[in-house]
Amino acid sequence: MATTTPSPTRSATTRTTRTTRTTTRTYNDAIDALNSLQTPYAAIEARRRAGIRPDATSVREMRAYLARIGYTPRDLDRLNIVHVAGTKGKGSTCAFVDSVLSRYQRRGGSPRRVGLFTSPHLIAVRERIRINSAPISEELFAKYFFDVWDRLEANADVAADDAAPGSKPIYARYLTLMSFHVFLSEGVDAAVYETGIGGEYDATNVVEHPVASGISTLGIDHVFVLGDTVDKIAWHKAGIMKPGSPAFTVEQVPRAAEVLKARAAEKGVGLRVLDIDPRLAAVKIRPDATFQKKNATLAVALAETALRRLDPSFSPDPDALPREFVDGLEQVVWRGRCEVKVEDHVIWHVDGAHTVDSLKMAARWFVGECAGRAGGGPRVLIFNQQGRAEAVDFLDGLCNTVKDTGRGFEHVIFCTNVTYAATGYKRDFVNHQHNPADIEKMTQQRVFADRWKKLDPSANVMLIPTIEEAINAARGLASGEHKVQALITGSLHLVGGALGILESADAL
Ligand SMILES: Nc1ncnc2c1ncn2[C@@H]1O[C@H](COP(=O)(O)OP(=O)(O)OP(=O)(O)O)[C@@H](O)[C@H]1O
C-alpha cells in the first residue's frame, strides 16, 4: 500500500509537530493509547443516571479536533463521502457500496482508491478503516494514529471554545477523526462512512457535503441515546441528510417513513424511497433474503450517485446493472454476518445480530440453513450481550423462531464477552465500558438463562465464562456422524471473538 502522505490543507492556527517517536511506536502502542480513550463504566453510568444524552456539542467538538489536526470540514469534500445511517443493514450497505466503487477505475486507467469507515470492529481495530476493502496495515494504522495524537497535543488550545484545551476525542470519535486523516493523506477518490450511533449527533456528521446520504432499515436500538420509539430514532438518523445532497432510503415502518419525509422537507432535501431494484433479479445476493435486497438496492443508488460525481460520463442503465456492480454485490466480503464455517464436527453459523428484529432474521437464516441438510446433529446456541438490560427481551423472538420449526436449540450457552480463558481480552477488545463485577459474576448471563428456561424448559442451558470455553463446549457436544449445528449470535463482540478463535486471529 502506498504510504505517501501529502500535507493536508493546514488551517492557519495549527502548528505542525516534528517528532521522531512515530517511527518507533507500534500498532499495539496505538491500541493501548486508543483504549485509554474509552469512557469508563462508572462515567457512563453517572451520565446515564443524570440523563445526559449526546447533543450538538459532539459535532462542534469534532470540528474543533479536525482543526487541531489541520483540516476544515471543507477539506472533507475532497473525499466524496457517501454517508449511511440506519438501525439495521447500514454496515452491509456500506460494504456493498465500497465493493462496487472499488471495481471502477479512474479516468486514464489507474485503480480507484475507495475508503471505508465502519464500526464496530470484529477481529482487529484496524478493520474500521479500509482502503479498497482491505483494513489498513498495522504500520499505517500506527503511523496515522500517532500523527493525529501528536497534532492534537501540539495544537491543544486551538478552537478551545468547542473542545476542552488539551483534551482528546473519545474512542469512536478519535477513530473517526483519524479516518479522515488516513483517507485525505492516502488520496482516496471516494469514502463510504457508516455512522456509529444515530446520525444527527454522531461524530461522522461533521461531514457537511456528502455526495449522497442513505438511510437503511430503521427499528429500535440504542434506546438510551436515541429514544424509545421508532420516530425518535428516525429523527436522529435523518440528521445525516444535507441540503444539496441527494438522500435515499428503503421502505420503512410508517412512523419512521413520516419522520424521514418531514425532516427531508425541513432541510429541502430530495429524499427518494426505493423499492427493491428489479435489476437485482440478475444478481446473486447473499443471503437471498428480502432484507439484504433492500440493503443492496440502497447501495446501488448510492454507488450510482457517487459514480456520477466521480465520472460525469457515467450513466446508469435502467435495465441492467454493469458488470462492476454485479461483481461488487456478489463478491462483497462482510464478515460476521450470515457466515458459515464448517469444521469436522461442527457447522458454525455466525451472525452479529443484536436487536429484536435482526435476531429473528438471524434465527430464520439459521433454520433455513439447517433445513437444507439431511439429519443434523444437536442444535446449539452461543449467545452474548453485555451491559444492556433490555437484551433479555432479544431472547423471545430468537427462541420462538427456531422452536416454531418443530425443533428448538437442544443446548443453549450464555457466555460473557471475555475472549480467552487464560488471558482474558485480546488487546483490540479491551473494554472498560462494562461493569467488571457483572462479568465476573455472569450477572446478565444468569438473567438470560432464567428467561430461556421459561421459554424452552426442554433446553439444556449452560453458563460459561469465556467465548473460548463456550466454543469448546459446543465442540464437545458432537457425537456420532451428524455435525453439531451451532448458531453464534447476540453481539458483534462475541462474533468477532469467536471468529478470531475459529480461525487464526490475523486472518482479516
Ligand atoms: N435491512 C435489514 N433489516 C433487518 N435486519 C438486517 C438488515 N440488514 C442486516 N440485518 C441483520 O443485521 C445484522 C447486522 O447487519 P449490518 O452489519 O449490515 O447492520 P448494521 O446496521 O451495520 O448494524 P450493526 O453495526 O449495529 O450490527 C445482519 O447480520 C442481519 O442479521
Q: Could you state, in order of their start, the residue ranges of all structural domains in the chain? A: 23-330, 339-502
Q: Residue 11 — pLDDT band, cuts 50, 70, 90?
A: very low
Q: How far is CA 113 from the centre of its chain?
A: 21
* 212-215 sheet: strands from edge to edge: 134-135, 129-131, 114-117, 190-194, 81-85, 212-215, 247-250, 271-274
- Is the CB of residue 90 below 6 angstroms from any atom belonging to ligand 1? yes
Nearest to 103 by CA among 335, 311, 380, 365: 311
Q: Which amino acid is at 193?
A: Y
The predicted structure's pLDDT at residue 23: 55
Å from CA of 17 to ligand 1 middle? 41
Three cell numbers, residue 328: 461488487
Lowest average pLDDT, out of 9-23, 181-195, 277-291, goes to 9-23
CA of 361 to the centre of ligand 1 (A): 9
| pLDDT of amino acid 231 | 92
Question: Is 361 touching ligand 1 by the criterion CB < 6 Å?
Answer: yes
Give me the pLDDT at residue 301, please.
Answer: 98
- What separation in Å is there between the alpha carbon of 337 and the centre of ligand 1? 8
Which residue's alpha carbon is nearest to atom 9 within ligand 1? 89
Confidence category of residue 504, pLDDT binned at 50, 70, 90: low
The span from the first CA to the last CA of the chain, in angstroms, equals 16
Q: Is 353 in the pocket of ligand 1 (CB under 6 A)?
A: yes
Which residues, 6+ apart, have CB-to-CB distance to 231 below 8 Å? 255, 256, 258, 259
State whether the beta carbon of 285 lies less than 6 angstroms from ligand 1.
Answer: no
119 is in an annotated binding site: yes
- Strands 81-85 and 190-194, by their bridges, are parallel
217 lines ligand 1 (CB under 6 A): yes
DSSP codes, 412-473: EEEEEEE-BTTTBS-GGG---SS-HHHHHHTHHHHHHHHHHHHH-TTSEEEEEEEHHHHHHH
- Measured in Å, residue 159 CA sits from the centre of ligand 1 at 37
Neighbours of 316 (CB within 10 A): 17
Q: Which of 84-98, 122-136, 426-440, 468-482 has the lowest mean pLDDT?
A: 426-440
Helix (H, G, I), strand (E, B) or coil at 125: helix
Q: How far is the CA of 295 from the centre of ligand 1 (A)?
A: 9
pLDDT of 491 above 80: yes
Cα–ligand 1 centroid distance for 178 (angstroms):
25
Residue 8 pLDDT: 37
Asked if residues 204 and 117 have their Cβ atoms less than 8 Å apart, the reply is yes
Q: Is the CB of 295 under 6 A from ligand 1?
A: yes
Sign of CA dihedral 17, 19, 21, 23: positive
Superfamily of domain 339-502: Mur ligase, C-terminal domain (3.90.190.20)
Residues 6+ apart with CB under 8 A from 216: 84, 85, 86, 87, 88, 89, 90, 92, 93, 249, 250, 294, 295, 298
pLDDT at position 118: 97
Length, in residues, of the chain: 508
- The pTM of the full predicted model, rounded to 2 decimals, is 0.87
What is the phi/psi pair of residue 212, to 5°?
Answer: -160, 155
Say how many Å lie between the CA of residue 72 and the centre of ligand 1: 32
* Banded model confidence at residue 94, pLDDT cuts 50, 70, 90: very high
Ligand 1, atom nearest to 336 Cα: 29
* Ligand 1 binding pocket includes 351 (Cβ within 6 Å): yes
More confident call, 427 vs 236: 236
91 lines ligand 1 (CB under 6 A): yes
State the pLDDT confidence band at 481, using cuts at 50, 70 and 90. confident
Condensed to tens digits (0 to 9), the pLDDT of residues 117-163 reads: 999 999 899 999 999 999 999 999 999 999 999 999 999 999 999 99
Residue bearing cell 418443530: 406
Tens digit of each residue's pLDDT (9 = 90 or more) over 159-205: 999 999 999 999 999 999 999 999 999 999 999 999 999 999 999 99
Tell whether residue 327 is among the known ligand binding residues: no
Determine whether the shortest distance from the Cβ of 337 to ligand 1 is under 6 A.
Answer: yes
Task: Please tell me the distance between residue 279's alpha carbon and the centre of ligand 1 in angstroms.
Answer: 22
CA of 338, closest atom in ligand 1: 29
Structural contact between residues 130 and 96, judged by C-beta atoms closer than 8 angstroms: no
CB of 496 closer than 6 angstroms to any ligand 1 atom:
no
Average pLDDT for 329-354: 94
β-strands 129-131, 114-117 pairing: antiparallel
Cβ atoms 294, 250 nearer than 8 A = yes
Side by side, the strands of the sheet bearing 411-418 are 339-342, 346-351, 484-489, 379-383, 411-418, 460-466
Q: Is residue 369 within 8 Å of 339, Cβ to Cβ?
A: no
The three cell numbers of residue 15 are 502548528
Binding site annotation covers 434? no
Segment 416-434 mean pLDDT: 81
Q: Which residue from 194, 358, 360 has its CB within 8 A of the most atoms of ligand 1, so it is best to mutate?
A: 358
- Its CATH architecture, for the domain 23-330, is 3-Layer(aba) Sandwich (3.40)
* Residues forming a β-bridge with 249: 215, 273
pLDDT for res 7: 38
- Between the CA of 351 and the centroid of ligand 1 the distance, in Å, is 9
pLDDT at site 506: 42
| CB contact set of 168 (below 8 Å; sequence gap of 6+) | 37, 65, 149, 152, 174
Give, in degrees to the nearest 5, the angle at Cα 35 between 33 and 40: 130
User: Using alpha carbons only, how large is the chain's radius of gyration in Å?
Assistant: 23
> For residues 90 and 302, is the Cβ–Cβ distance under 8 A?
no
> Could you read off the pLDDT of 459-473 as tens digits, one per residue?
999 999 999 999 999
Q: Is 338 in the pocket of ligand 1 (CB under 6 A)?
A: yes
Range from 36-40, 156-160, 282-286 carrying the lowest mean pLDDT: 36-40
194 is in an annotated binding site: yes
Complex confidence, ipTM: 0.96
36 among annotated binding-site residues:
no
Question: Given a cut of 80, is residue 396 above it in pLDDT?
Answer: yes
Cα 86 to middle of ligand 1, angstroms:
9
Q: Hey, which of 83, 84, 88 would you mutate to test ligand 1's pocket, going by the most ligand atoms within 8 Å of its Cβ?
A: 88
- The answer on pLDDT for 221 being more than 80 is no
Mean model confidence pLDDT for the chain: 90
Which atom in ligand 1 lies closest to the alpha carbon of residue 492? 27
Mutate to test the pocket of ligand 1, among 90, 92, 117 (most ligand atoms within 8 A of CB): 92
Question: Ligand 1 pocket, 216 CB below 6 A?
Answer: yes
Residue 18 — very low, low, confident or very high, per pLDDT cuts 50/70/90? very low
Q: Whose CA is nearest to atom 13 of ligand 1?
A: 353
CA of residue 89 to ligand 1 center, whole Å: 4
CB 395 within 8 A of CB 388: no
* Rounded alpha-carbon distances, angstroms, from residue 376 to 350, 407, 476, 482, 485: 17, 11, 16, 5, 7
